[in-house]
Structure 1
Amino acid sequence: MLAQSVTPCPSSPRFIGSGTPMRDMVQAHRWEDTPLGAIAGWPASLRGAVSVVMHAVNPMFLWWGEQLTQIYNDAYVPCFGLGKHPAALGQAGRACWPETWPIIGPQIDAVRSGGEARWYENKLVPIFRNGRIEDVFWSYTYTPVFNELDEVGGVLVVCTETTAQVLAERRRHALDLLSRRLLDCRCEQDVDGVVQLSVGDNPGDLLGIRLLQGETALARPGSVGGTGEVLVIRGAELQLCAELALAFDVSPRLPMDDAYRQFLEHYTATVCGALSRLQSDRALAEAMAESERLNVDLNLSSRIKDEFLAMLGHELRNPLAPIVTALKLMKLRGAGGDTMQEQAVIERQVDHLVRLVDDLLDVSRIASGKVELRKETVALADVLNKAIEMASPLLEQKQHRLLVDVPTVRWHGDPARLAQVVSNLLSNAARYTPAGGHVTLGTRIKGDTVQIQVTDDGNGIAPSLLPHIFDLFVQGNRQLDRAKGGLGIGLALVRNLVQMHGGAVSAYSAGEGRGSTFTITLPDSVVGEAPVPVVYTNTAPPEQGAGLRVLVVDDNQDAADSLADLLGALGYQPTVAYDPAQAIALAAVGMPQVAILDIGLPGMDGFELADHLRKLPDGPGLKLVALSGYGQEHDKTRSREAGFAAHLVKPINIADLQISLS
């Protein structure tokens, strides 16, 4: 039933608005005939809540007063389907929703009595629409609205129908389970048994199935059980099995739309495929051989990809190393003069490139299962402060104002990975917020669950992009503007690391230009709320013994020379060799106290060179430090097993360098 056109009063209250069907309908409604009374007498709390609802772009719904009188906006109208709207406007909640009240009634009462918001995700709430009860899934929040007496006067609902997504996942799972079970079938009777078993796997879509073959497949059968409509899909329609048909007793609580029919067609195609494979041992063998070949190709492609990414990281880090070292050396020498600004630009861009390389390698390692969390119990504030420190250069560069609300609790998880996650979100907020904007880092503790929220007032996220924002290599519409940088991997990395902690991350934005909010939820991770004592430590790099003799071996001459210069500026006595033979000759003349060896040397790698150096006189006492563009855990493990005291990853951090030499 379509809403009739209404004409709002010329003196329409601005808090309701006008110019849309629902705004005009609310303006024209006879509220004096409802428990709310005439609009002119509405209290400020009700007017404020109605204003939020009527001016929102997403579906919103308000229940007010003891009768839960209803007001909703234009975006909510499609949720009704046909049947309830427009009669639902101003109607009491229980009278409007008798079929769902056993579900939503207790939820509403809990919010009204407890005064706390509730959130439900992908929950089945069947409603009467389009002439029948339909199974409908929703993600929604109930938020209390307080009146002038500081009591809960109403309940605000923000909802999204997720039926399509839930049904798609349910049907995908059913098809996947069907496919795996059919692989074990050895005869047609086995196939029929699997078909009957699958009815119990997905009773929401399949009330009954009959497998028809031969001439019986040409006749339309009667109902095979349940109360739904019988739908027959023949193999001939799918160009698979000309003498096979499946008769489905479909659910009466779901519309027979394209998605439902496509699921049944895929189901029929899967069964037909299994029967076809059984008809020919040769076809089955060929199919298995092809599957094996594809699996081998997939594993080979995955290995090649991982090797390529590792090589990419190495090749990018090699030229970065001398650049970073040269910059640090210039700072130590007090050089710069008129080039201080240019040095700062180079340093920022190099730091950005290093972080991109690290993120790309992390995504690859997580996808291949090579990342393990190193969990410990720490002060949550320390983790978040570390994240702020990591994101500070970009926040300061954009002159943003950062607001922080951090609780004093202890948290169990991987502190380095959580700092990386929050730092990524803060950096994204800084990057996509115009200069001088506001970024907020807030936390909320509820029981043993912690929620971390990063909010900005920046560019926002387009509605079409929001569902895919955490997918790998997904970015907003940059057109020709690449100034913000990024590869579209940061948020994918955030989601993967949060999920590894057993948590979830979500994104919200009211639209482009309206800011964004990212929320991390980490359940079962808060250890306690006792104050954490502050321990002050000296963060200055450890002092080194003056004149420590250090041999630097690297075939990249720029990298070797710049590292030697840096060591000299720090008070060491460096010697440089550009190849293994030169290194052995120098060590034979005078054995150094420490040797920093590039692992990727030509002709003889760093591990072989280390063996040769140890065999020289005084060689057994030589301290070895590995230097490499490869920084994955198995690379560091191999260095330790080869007797290296430390493994430095290019570009080198000065503090790590000094610690490794101490």
Structure 2
Amino acid sequence: MATKPSPDKKSKHSGFLSGEGEMVSLIRKFDWSKTSVGPIEQWPQSLKTMVSMILSSKFPMFIWWGEDLIQFYNDAYRPSLGNNGKHPLALGQKGKNCWQEIWTIIYPLITQVMTMGEATWSEDQLIPIYRNGKLEDVYWTFGYSPIIGDSGEISGVLVVCNETTEKVLNSINLKESKDQLHFAIESAELATWEYNPVTNVFKSNKRLKEWIGIPLNTETNLEDAINNVVSSEREAVREAIKQSFEYSSGGAFNIVCTILHPITGVERMVRAKGRTYFDLKGEPYRFSGIIQDISEEEIAKKELADSRKSLELRNVELLKINNDLDNFIYTASHDLKAPISNIEGLLHAYMMDGSFDEEQQSLIDMMLFSIERFKTTIKDLTEISKVQRGLNIEPEVLTFSEIYNEVILDISELIKISNDPLIVTDFKIDTIKYSRKNLRSIIYNLLSNALKYSSSKRRPEIHLSTESTDDFVLFTISDNGLGISPENQHKIFNMFERAHQHVEGSGIGLYIIKRIIENSGGKIELQSTEGVGTTFKVYLKNL
């Protein structure tokens, strides 16, 4: 805190150097007799007035006075000088001595004001200054104005300024981020959209317009865009959008559908993933996201499914085809790791280079989600290869509670978005000799499925228990979720099959754990009622 002046000194400068700011205190204490402006008592009234004005202002201000351009500045300007730099030496210093590193930049402006009386204005001007122990690139918006002395002559320069370094750098970084984001979107061959529910304005990038046959220079509305979905799937899309617009849904939007080009007739199976943003009243104000063409992926799934059906009919070739499939999966899972890691690394690098607005961050989050989903698929393919090969993993003594706690940590994010689920455990038999990795895989897949297939109409309730039965440990998991229709129950353990197509997943989790369980001499049973819930009974062999 600045030291208050003595009563007699205060009375001398009453109404002129009143106040207790840092710069008021420094000006009072400074020996002005050693400068060309002389002692404070001899200052002209115009100088006193200007110094008083800047000291009382909350806006950064600076004064150059007289032929030597002696310097004054206020508390609001002080932070611009940083630490280990020009402050407090700049106070009372000659301008040329203070600003040697930028004198060639600012002196012509000062001369213009002092000799011609013409004010200047500069916006976001790069003027490096020495502060914080080094020369820094600093951007300023500032104006120089003439100060009229007591005799009517120009006696000084008033500087009103504001440092805009952060704004300028953010603008530069934002442009770079937009360019990088655009590159990432184009590299991933994604379509994008943005819809304003208030104005009914629907915008999309060039790729989506080409997919649905909209002229590049033409805008459309949401309903016209939906009409490019094949007729049998339009209502499902409308319902998914309607649900996303409900505040209680959290705004999530995720659907697979088929879009049709009205002229060429080209069909594409796509996954649309986005989010609705709500205002403080809970009303939607923006709906945006990305669309990925998954036609080839679906074709590949269909081809694999056809291959599976063919295998069932051709028992003689079963071993050969299984080996071919195993080799394909093994090679694909390894070959896909490098490009997806490169894409992920590039995206993280772009994220570290600057800040993003809400829309950009939403797109980045969706891309990261897609990358994680792809990585999960690669991981699943690797697991398929292992179970196909029947690789044996050394068993060890484990406890269900320990493995359960590890799985809970793994799926913590899924739990957070699952409407506050109630998960109850009752491990009457807690110890088993089994493969740690395989037991984790069994509990992880069954528990995460129970959360994914929970009903939006009620709070999820999941019960896990163990008991002893004959030569097995019976692990049971029950939920009150969507349930599985009778016609789908016999298919859910098949590769790439899912009970509900609108729930995201690769459809191989149950296939993998069934193979794991059966490879170790156990079995898995299913009991389910659509709309009520599902129970899995897993008979695990103590190894």
TM-score range (shorter-chain normalised) is: 0.3 to 0.5
Whose strand fraction is larger, Structure 1's or Structure 2's?
A: 2
When the two structures are superposed, what TM-score results if normalisation uses the length of structure 1? 0.31
The structure with more radius of gyration: 2
